[in-house]
Structure 1
Amino acid sequence: MDKERIHSAGLDVFEDEPPEKAQAPLLRHPRVIATGHYAWHSNVTSVAQRRRAADNMIALLTGKKTEDCLNPSF
C-alpha cells in the first residue's frame, strides 16, 4: 500500500486473534480498516442467522433434512 499498488484493505480475519504486535504497522496504516472478526455482523445478518437456526430446528423436529447438516447419517 505504501507503493500504491494496493489502495486500501479491509481485514476481518487474522491467523492469530488478537493480532500479534508484529502486525501493528499494517493495522496502523492509514488506508487499512481492521475489525475484530466482526465485519460480517449487521442487523440483516443477525435476523437471517436467527431465521436459519429456527428453520433448521423446525426441520429437525418434523423429520426433514436441515440446510446445514454436517453429518446426515446421524
Structure 2
Amino acid sequence: MEIKEIIENKKHYLPLLLLADEQEDMIDLYLSRGTMYVLNDGGLKGECVVTDEGDGILEIKNLAV
C-alpha cells in the first residue's frame, strides 16, 4: 500500500474526484490550492484533497475511495 502526494496533473484523477464532488467547476475552485493524496494498493484505490483555510484550520474538500 502506498500513499503519495500529487503535485502535478491533479486533473488526471478527475473521474475519482467527480465521485465525491459532481461539479467540475467546484473542484477547480480548490484543486489548485489543495494538497492531493492518492492511495495505491494494486491499483488506484482512493484520493483526498485537503486545503489550508488559515488560522490552523485544514479542510477535507474531496474524499473518494
Category of TM-score, reference length = shorter chain: under 0.3
Q: Higher Cα Rg: structure 1 or 2?
A: 1
In proportion to residue count, which structure has more helix? 1
Scaled by the length of structure 1, what TM-score is found?
0.24
Between the two structures, name the one with larger relative contact order (CA 8 Å, sep ≥ 6): 2
